[in-house]
Every structure is written in structure tokens, then in C-alpha cells.
Structure 1
Amino acid sequence: MRSINIRTWEARLGIALVLSSIVVYTVKYLLLGDPENTYHYIFNALGFLPINVLLVTLILNQLLSVREKRKRLDKLNMVIGTFFSEVGTGLLAFLSDRDPALPEIRQDLIVTDAWTPEKFSTVRERTRRRHSRLNIDAADLQELCRYLTEKRGFLLRLLENPVLLEHESFTELLRAVFHLTEELERRGDFAALPASDVGHLAGDVDRVYNRLTGEWLAYMEYLQRNYPYLFSLAMRSNPFDETASPIVRV
């Protein structure tokens, strides 16, 4: 059996509380007498103790869990925000320009502060079902390879961040981006690639684009709900909006 280490603060606190109860009941008995009433009070208190424990466990623990979850969510979205600032927004702008269907759906992706949670949910679901096919050629693959290779160190640090383990869909996006980076880095002359290999790489690019769009929408919704000033800049930097500008105009 493991012995209790009385040097720990938990053990010291427990001993102090028990001794305090003994002192209180002893003083009550010495000053007021009536040991029978004291015994009744002790048993009444002990009878209510399980209910106290239940209330503390269900309510206080739940409140602490909600608070801790909110803190983890803030940390997680801070990391996601860094990803979009360093890699995601630029990558999304590059890939969306190669989306032949973008003119038809562009208006659906112009996020505004009037969007409701239902609107975000509807657009995300529509985007998830769409499965875009981009027009990617060898020159585009060469440009993507250069861009992602420059960001390789940053992407590796993100993959090592334990906070991201709690966000499965974003972790899958990072894996897709990193896989595409590895595929591109192992090619030589992109102009000499056969059509079959270009098609294979285009499939990897499509995977990144579709997942990246969904994560961008989720992040925009988070900013709108929690950080209006960050959301304002994100709206003015919308990678799907050809007229987007960070300059605030009346």
C-alpha cells in the first residue's frame, strides 16, 4: 500500500481541516455542554456530506471543465491564426485563383459581419460537398514547391505542437499540406513530368484546397464570435475576394 506523504500540501491541508473540526466540536461541547445535541449535529453533517460531494463534483467540476476547455480553445485558435497568417491565407489565395468554379461560388465566400452561425454552417457544408478540381499545371506546381519549401520549418513546428492533437480536422489539414510539400520536393524538373504524375499531384493539391477552405471558414466564424478586431482584418484580407484590401475605406 502506498504511504501518504504528510509533507505534501494536500495532506497538510486535510489534516488541518480535520483538526479544525475536532477543535470546533470540542469547544462547542465545553461551552454549551449537551453532548447528545453535538452527536446529532455530527451525524446530520455526515449524512449531508455525500450530497455536498455530489454537488461540488457535478457543478464545480463542470464549471472548471468549461473554463479549461475555453482556455484550450483559445490557445488552439491562436496557433491556427498563426498558420493562416504565415501560410494558409497566401496558399488559399494562390489555389483559389486556379479554381474554375470560383466565379460561381465566390459570393458565397465573401464573409461579412452579418453572417450568422447558420450561414457559416450552410456554407461549410456546401463547400465540403463540392470537392473542387483545380486547374494545375507544371508551372503552378513549381511555384507551390517553392512556397511550401520556404514554410517547411514552420509547418514542422506546428506538427510538433501538442495543442493541435485536440483538433482532428486541422491536424488532417496539416498532414495534407505536409504530404504535398514532400511530394513536390521529391520531384525535379516539373516541366518534364508525365501527365499521369501531374494528375497525381493535382489530386494532392485538391485535397489541401478543400480542407483548407473548410478550416478557413471555421476560423473566420471563431474570430467573428470572439475577436471582432481580428475578424475585421481577416475580412479585409479575404483570399476569395479579388477586391479585398487591408486599407479601411469609408
Structure 2
Amino acid sequence: MDNSTLRFRLSLALLVTVSAASIAGFMAAEDLEFADAVYFCIVTLTTVGYGDIHPASPTGKLIAAGLMVTGVGTFMGVVSAATDTLLNRRDKKLRHSRLNILVGTFFSEIGTSLLRHCVAMDHHSAPLRAELLVDQTWQAQDFQIAKARLAAYDFALTPEASNLEQTRRVLLEHTGFLLRLLENPNLIEHEQLTDLVWAVFHLKDELAHREELAGAPATDLNHLAGDLQRVYRQLAAQWIDYMAHLQQEYPYLFSLAVRLNPFDPHAQADVTQA
């Protein structure tokens, strides 16, 4: 809960308390009916002051004075907090949209192909791939189940030199894109994507500083497998979140992303079925 929402709830609770106490006081001190007491309370809170009902007893005047001092300020506080809450929600939605544009750009440029490389090096991924064949029928519950499945998955990889060479080539071709992404000021607001980009960039550096991958010792291959595993785990988690976002917000982008599913060994962009 953000500060503006908390302030709105506190101001509203205080306004309701003050109003209820004032209405009860007017009914007792001025012998007003409930509807008249509510009407007089609202007229006082909104500073309209028609004057058709006014306190005559000393107690009623004190209650009215207290309502003017505390209630009017509280009412304005509710209006102010409600406005801030609406503006913050709009700003949050805009930030969320900007961040998902970054995520979409990442997967369009490099993320999907990199994830496909990782899946190809995962020789035990057949059951996982079968569970991640996202299609148009998926609902929010299906994405939650997929996220839980990914959270429990091992992501163990056994890369060969040829696999690593292909991955290196992909990463080096997109070095400029990764640098621009890191320079984007909006990236820092998306912690999950930030960690993923840093993991990918680290993997790129590790691979770029090796002249020959063929014939590399097992210890070095194991080290690179660990870097790949980190990228694989974070890529998969970010991918399923992004697919859920597309399914809800951008059905036409979701359609293409389903056809390019990196977990589908038969994925292709062509529309082959109606």
C-alpha cells in the first residue's frame, strides 16, 4: 500500500468518525431527526451553509464549531488524498507500461533466441517444455501454475563447446543493444529485468574473453554452465511473466509470442492453422 492510499484511508476513517459523532450530537442537542442531522452535517462539512438549519443550543453550537474546525479540514484531506491516489495509480500504470516495453524489446531482440539456446542445452527439459506450451486458452491460473513449476525446476545445463560458441555469437552480435538497455533510466525500476540483463552481460563477458571454447577443460565448462544456468533461470521466469502480461494487454503480440515459444521445438512464426 502506497502512502497516498494509506493517507486516503486514514483521512476517510477520521472523517466518518467525526461525522458520525457530530450527527449523534446534533440529534441529541438540537432534537433533530436523523435525516436533518445528516443534512446539517454535510452542509457544514462542505462549507455551503444554507442557514435553513442552524444550532440553537450552546451544546449544538459547540458541536458545530468542532465540526467546522476538524471536519472541514478532514473533508479537504480526503479529497486531496483521493486525488493523489488516482494520480499515483495513473503514474504507476504508465511506469508499468514503459517497463513492459523494455521487457518486450529485450525478448524481441535477444531474450527469445537466448532462451531457445538454453532450452536446447537442457537435455532433461522435455517434461517442462510440454507444460509450457502456452496457447490462447491459457488463463491467469495456468500462468500461476507455470510460474510455480519454473520456481521448482533445476535448470541444470550440460553445454558443449559448439553450444557455447553459438551463444557467444548471439551475445556479441547484441552487445550494443545490451549496453543501451543498461543505460536506460527506466531499467532500474524493474529489479527482475535488471538482474537478468546483468546476468546476460556477465555471460557475454565470460564468453568474449575466451579465445577457444573447443577443448576447454571440464572445470571451465562447468563454470560457464553455472553462468548459463543463472541466465536460464531468470530468463524463464521473466518470460512467463511477460507472456501473462501480453495475454491480458496485447492479444496480437501474444499471438506472435505463442508461435515463437522458445520451449516449443516446432515453433514457427507462420500461421498454419485457422
> What is the CA–CA distance in structure 1 between the aligned matches of 2:218 and 2:67, rounded to whole Å?
82
1:235 aligns with 2:258: yes
Task: Give the structure 1 partner of residue 126 of structure 2.
Answer: 103
Counterpart for residue 199 of structure 1: 222
Structure 1 position 52, deviation (Å): 3.0
Q: For residue 117 of structure 1, what is the aligned residue in structure 2?
A: 140
Matched, 1:148 2:171: yes
CA contact under 8 A between 2:121 and 2:163: conserved in structure 1?
no
Unpaired segments of 5 or more residues in structure 1? Answer: 1-40
One-letter identity of the residue aligned with 1:79:
L
| Corresponding position of 1:77 | 100
Q: 2: distance between equivalents of 1:97 and 1:140? A: 9
- AA paired with 2:229? D
Task: Give the superposition deviation at 1:130.
Answer: 0.9
Number of the residue aligned with 1:247 = 270
| Runs of 4+ in structure 1 over 3 Å off | 41-49
One-letter amino acid of the structure 2 residue matched with residue 243 of structure 1: H
> What's the CA shift string for 1:137-187, capped at 9, x where partnerless?
112111211110111110011111121211111111111100000111111
Which residue does 1:170 correspond to in 2? 193
For structure 1, which segment, 127-136 or 176-185, has the greater mean C-alpha deviation from structure 2 after superposition?
127-136
> In the TM superposition, what is the alpha-carbon distance from 1:43 to its structure 2 partner?
10
| Aligned twin of 1:159 | 182
Q: Could you tell me the TM-score, scaled by structure 1's length?
A: 0.79
- For the Cα contact (< 8 Å) 2:133–2:261, is it kept in 1? yes
Q: Which residue of 103, 110, 113 corresponds with 1:87?
A: 110
State the percentage of identical aligned residues.
42
Give the length in aligned residue pairs: 213
Corresponding residue of 1:4:
none
Distance in 2, Cα, partners of 1:78 & 1:149:
23
1:243 is displaced (CA, Å) by 2.2
Q: Distance in 1 between matches of 2:69 and 2:107?
A: 56
* Structure 1 vs Structure 2 CA RMSD: 2.2
Which residue is 1:51 aligned to?
74
